[in-house]
Structure formats: structure tokens, C-alpha cells
């Protein structure tokens, strides 16, 4: 399969020796040869690999997720995009290469690309990465702008990109689903260039200790991890990040910061 323009550009960001095939238009698979498919162990993780979910993700799953995250106090998709635009500096003219980690069917990936294009970033490259074959297949099918958008199938715990190769990294509504979320966060920081910006949205424990603990147990039964309020800001501070922002909406927390130049 012939590589799209965005895939060709994405290949230049990969570490030396990374084996990357092109199974679908606009998609790189960096998982290498697998004798058996990777199967998530949690119920929530398995749901992300359920093919019909990729089709109804934005219409049904995300609204249900918002109710669970706090109803009216939970974040809307529009509010999430507003935060990403601001926290990643998408209209600053300083960002052209963005990694949208755990991109699902690519809705947010395409929105980020639209913002960059409207801001006059002609060389924009937005890479949506996910471990779910059905999600990436849907993303590929729904994406027309193959000059500026590429997708990647791979493990977020071992990103295939060179150190400091990405201008901005976004990971919304995923870290509570993936195994080893702080290893994933370390990888996000590793691939971010000096001066680059990082933004994430994850769960947060709220309320008195007994209530918070009960919520964490309930979430844990389906494989969702609930994080303390300072879980992510502490990591960013340890890595020397500046301009750290922390917001809480219902059971969701938004964390952002800039890697020192």
C-alpha cells in the first residue's frame, strides 16, 4: 500500500529500527509480528476493542461517559477541545506536530488538525495513536485529510518516536484505561520536544475518603483507575515542567504543562 503524505512524514519521526507496516490507508502499525493478538484484561479495555463501539463512540459512548464523570459538572466534548486548544498552544504558531494518544476513532485528532489549519499552520501533522484495531480502522475510514493526519497502531508504553520529536502531546480520556499509566506518561514526556506542551484528561478521586474509596472500588471492577488530584502534577513537577494547569470537572481532571526549553 502506498504511504500517504502524512504517513511519509510520520516515518521520519520514528526511532531507528522501528518496524512499521501500512495495513490501512493513512495508518502505520508498529507492533511488529504478533503470533497472538493483544487482548486487554479489563472489561473497559475489552470494550475499546469491540468493533461496533468504534461506530457509535461519539454519539453514545462519550455522552454516557460524561454522565458517569459528573453529569452537568462533567466535561463536554466542546469544553475538552477548548482546553486542548489553549493548553497545547494550537493557535500560537509554535506547534505543527501533535500526537493525539489513545485517539479512538479519530474525532479529536481531526478536530486538532482543523484548528491548526485554520490557524495557518500549513505544515501541520497530527498523529492519532491507539492500540485498538477497530478504532484505528474507523479513524482511517473517516479521515479525508491524509496530507496532515496519520494514525498509528502501537503500545503507548513504548512509543516509537525519537526523543523530543513532537511539539505537543495530548491524551484525553484514556490513562484510566491503560495498563501502567505512569509509564505511558513518562513516554509522553520523553517524545515531547523542549518547550513543547502536554495535556491530559483523566479521572480524579473526589469527596470524603469513604465515598472516594467506594467510587474507586466501583470503577476498579470494570478496569477504570481513579487517580488522586496531585497524581499527574507531581510527575510534571518532577520533570521540571512549567506553566502547570490543573482543573477538575466532576470526576474528571485536566492537567497541562510545558516542558522547559
pLDDT digits (tens, 9 = 90+) for 215-253: 444 344 445 889 999 999 999 999 999 999 999 988 899
Residues 12-61 pLDDT 10s = 999 999 999 999 999 999 998 544 445 555 444 444 454 554 454 455 55
Distances 20 to 30, 32, 67, 167, 194 between C-alpha atoms, Å:
5, 7, 38, 22, 26
102 class by beta-carbon count within 10 Å (0-12 exposed, 13-18 middle, 19+ buried): buried
Number of domains in the chain: 1
Integer CA distances (angstroms), 116 to 119, 121, 125, 186, in order = 5, 5, 9, 26
- The pTM is what? 0.84
What CATH number is associated with residue 117? 3.40.50.150
For residue 143, the enclosing domain spans: 5-32+40-258
Amino acid at each position: 500500500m502506498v504511504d500517504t503524505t502524512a504517513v511519509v512524514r510520520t516515518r521520519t519521526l520514528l526511532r531507528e529500527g522501528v518496524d512499521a507496516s501500512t495495513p490501512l490507508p493513512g495508518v502505520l502499525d508498529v507492533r511488529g509480528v504478533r503470533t497472538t493478538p493483544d487482548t486487554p484484561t479489563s472489561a473497559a479495555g475489552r470494550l475499546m476493542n469491540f468493533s461496533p463501539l468504534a461506530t457509535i463512540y461519539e454519539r453514545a459512548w462519550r455522552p454516557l461517559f460524561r454522565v458517569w464523570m459528573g453529569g452537568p459538572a462533567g466535561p463536554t466534548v466542546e469544553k475538552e477541545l477548548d482546553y486542548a486548544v489553549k493548553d497545547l498552544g494550537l493557535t500560537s504558531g509554535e506547534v505543527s506536530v501533535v500526537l493525539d494518544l489513545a485517539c479512538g476513532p479519530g474525532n479529536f485528532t481531526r478536530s486538532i488538525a482543523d484548528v491548526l489549519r485554520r490557524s495557518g499552520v500549513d505544515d501541520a501533522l497530527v498523529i492519532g495513536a491507539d492500540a485498538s484495531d477497530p478504532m484505528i480502522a474507523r479513524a482511517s475510514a473517516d479521515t479525508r485529510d491524509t496530507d496532515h493526519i496519520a494514525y498509528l497502531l502501537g503500545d503507548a508504553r513504548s512509543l516509537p518516536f525519537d526523543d523530543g520529536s513532537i511539539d505537543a502531546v495530548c491524551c484525553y480520556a484514556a490513562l484510566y484505561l491503560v495498563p501502567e499509566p505512569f509509564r505511558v506518561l513518562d513516554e509522553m514526556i520523553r517524545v515531547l520536544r523542549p518547550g513543547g506542551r502536554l495535556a491530559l484528561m483523566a479521572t480524579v478521586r473526589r469527596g470524603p475518603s469513604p465515598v472516594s474509596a467506594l467510587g474507586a472500588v466501583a470503577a476498579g471492577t470494570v478496569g477504570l483507575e481513579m487517580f488522586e488530584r496531585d497524581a499527574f502534577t507531581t510527575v510534571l513537577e518532577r520533570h521540571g515542567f512549567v506553566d502547570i494547569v490543573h482543573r477538575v470537572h466532576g470526576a474528571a481532571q485536566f492537567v497541562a504543562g510545558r516542558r522547559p526549553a
